[in-house]
Amino acid sequence: MRGSLWHLGQSVTRRLAQADKKAVARRFFASEADLKKTVLYDFHVANGGKMVPFAGWSMPIQYKDSIMDSTVNCRQNGGLFDVSHMCGLSLKGKDCVPFLEKLVIADVAGLAPGTGTLTVFTNEKGGAIDDSVITKVKDDHLYLVVNAGCRDKDLAHIEQHMKAFKSKGGDVSWHIHDERSLLALQGPLAAPVLQHLTKDDLSKLYFGEFRILDINGATCFLTRTGYTGEDGFEISVPSENGLDLAKAILEKSEGKVRLTGLGARDSLRLEAGLCLYGNDMEQHITPVEAGLTWAIGKRRRVEGGFLGAEVILKQLEEGPSIRRVGFTSSGPPPRSHSEVQDEKGNNIGEITSGGFSPCLKKNIAMGYVKSGLHKAGTKAKILVRGKAYDGVVTKMPFVPTKYYKPS
């Protein structure tokens, strides 16, 4: 999805507030009939969700509260997100680990059962096809979630390589979890609220860990992860139990955890310094350039064995020519594709995501600049609607992360 969801949310809100609401609704929601709907669609609408097209789905950009309030509430209390548009899949078979290692940069073999990591699917040039959270359920079962907007190309890519791998005798099969829905519960109240709905002790489940367990009477895949920088969970639930689970979570929180839309999800992930595929990562950007060197397993740095490894290992040795960095700036918030210049007016890069931070009450952005100009404190000019404003390279995350890790 090009451009910022935050900006889309702001423009939807502004335009709906203006006179001709019917014409605006037609323009934004014209293709409603063609869009896929999650099992919570009617629940979103009943709760004031403003539905917008996103990656072929009709999704809530926000509810009755503003994106600003919703973002702050997630960090202070909690937010419940319907992320069922994302694609969960399982790879099974005794060779599923070596198979996946041909496609991603992670040391999948080195993961302990019940743990996971963020990884990147790469192409032959080392560019990012997609980012994904992968989990080793057991040595012969991997569970992964890929982005909604990349679903078709990701599945085609995996399938093409799986056919070749199986033709050489490899034992791997897959199942796409279209029978399940995905909810993300994020924020300081996530664990205490979810604990009411399961007998398993969540204090023993740390960031990046995975369990299959009973939540609210349904068998769920639970990963302690998220896309906000807060502690929280992603819960894969059988679709027939999705609505009941969402209602139970909101009820147990006594109104403090709120339904939260894609607009706040975008500002939360930007504050946490996390990439949005299609903005901050694309086919021509490598994991090294994107600042995800930490996600390349140590063994993989030596052995390679994934698509584009030659390019990536060379960048690890020599350094990349561009790097992803954070910015703070004055003036109007920078947008995707805003030009970044040095103080003399020379082009040094571009913004890939930007907006006004609801929690910090200032402009934040991320983008790519030439190596050497990526150090925190480097001054820059950021062009917004043709006018240059002061910016400075800033360490990310902008808001400190609160992941639940062993003390």
Close Cβ partners of 372 (under 8 Å, ≥ 6 residues apart): none
Cα(276)–Cα(287) distance, rounded to whole angstroms?
13
Largest CA distance in the chain: 64
Any known ligand binding at 289?
no
Asked if residues 377 and 327 have their Cβ atoms less than 8 Å apart, the reply is: no
Please spell the DSSP secondary structure of 339-382, one letter per residue: EEE-TTS-EEEEEEEEEEETTTTEEEEEEEEETTS-STT-EEEE
Cα(238)–Cα(218) distance, rounded to whole angstroms?
7
The tokens of 392 are what? 């400075």
- Polymer length in residues for the chain: 407
Which has the closest alpha carbon to 402: 187, 222, 235?
187
Output the 3-class SS for 3-47: CCHHHHHHHHHHHHHCCCHHHHHHHHHCCHHHCECCCCHHHHHHC
Asked if residues 369 and 321 have their Cβ atoms less than 8 Å apart, the reply is: no
- Alpha-carbon distances, residue 86 vs 14, 18, 94 (angstroms): 28, 33, 26
The tokens of 147 are what? 């982005």
Collapsing DSSP to helix, strand or coil, 241 comes out as: helix
Close Cβ partners of 161 (under 8 Å, ≥ 6 residues apart): 99, 102, 103
Please spell the DSSP secondary structure of 78-104, one letter per residue: EEEEE-TTSEEEEEESTTHHHHHHTTB
Collapsing DSSP to helix, strand or coil, 212 comes out as: strand
Asked if residues 189 and 181 have their Cβ atoms less than 8 Å apart, the reply is: no
Residues placed in the known binding site for substrate: 234
Q: Which residues are annotated as a binding site?
A: 234
